[in-house]
């Protein structure tokens, strides 16, 4: 039987049923005009968010791609000495649109307040 999925929920659910001698895990990836189909070692990651940040899903954050982009932009601006209020507001809109609930929010709101930006 061959099962194809893009769901970390399925992979997390298979952790107890996966048997190395019989079962195989393959990673299908499109790179330009080339399709790669590589066997990978099945490693238990436990929680679904850990699967999302694994080598199979290659996400830096366990969120959607737009949310990950917004988070990366927000984290980069945290390191800037004098970010503009306009940029902070723009990034805040991206975060609001893509990241409804996240542990990053208190840090972001504190940062905006410290920079004198009302959001």
End-to-end CA distance of the chain: 52
- Model-wide pTM > 0.95: no
Distance of CA 9 to the CA centre of its chain: 14
Strands of 1-119, DSSP E: 25-31, 34-40
Per residue in 26-41, pLDDT (tens digit) is 998 888 999 998 999 9
Q: Band of the pLDDT at 4, cuts 50, 70, 90?
A: confident
Number of neighbours of residue 90 by Cβ within 10 angstroms: 13
Which residue, 56, 116, 63, is CA-closest to 94?
Answer: 63
Per residue in 52-107, pLDDT (tens digit) is 999 888 888 888 889 999 999 999 999 999 999 999 999 999 999 999 888 999 99
């Amino acid at each position: 039987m061959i099962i194809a999925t893009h769901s970390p929920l399925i992979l997390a659910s298979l952790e107890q049923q996966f048997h190395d001698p019989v079962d195989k895990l393959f990673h299908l990836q499109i790179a330009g005009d080339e399709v790669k189909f590589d066997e990978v070692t099945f490693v238990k990651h436990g929680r679904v968010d850990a699967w999302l940040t694994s080598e199979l899903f290659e996400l830096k954050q366990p969120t959607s791609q737009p949310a990950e982009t917004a988070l990366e932009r927000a984290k980069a601006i945290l390191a800037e000495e004098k970010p503009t209020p306009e940029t902070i507001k723009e990034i805040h809109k991206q975060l609001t649109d893509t990241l409804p609930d996240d542990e990053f929010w208190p840090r972001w709101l504190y940062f905006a307040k410290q920079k004198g930006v009302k959001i």
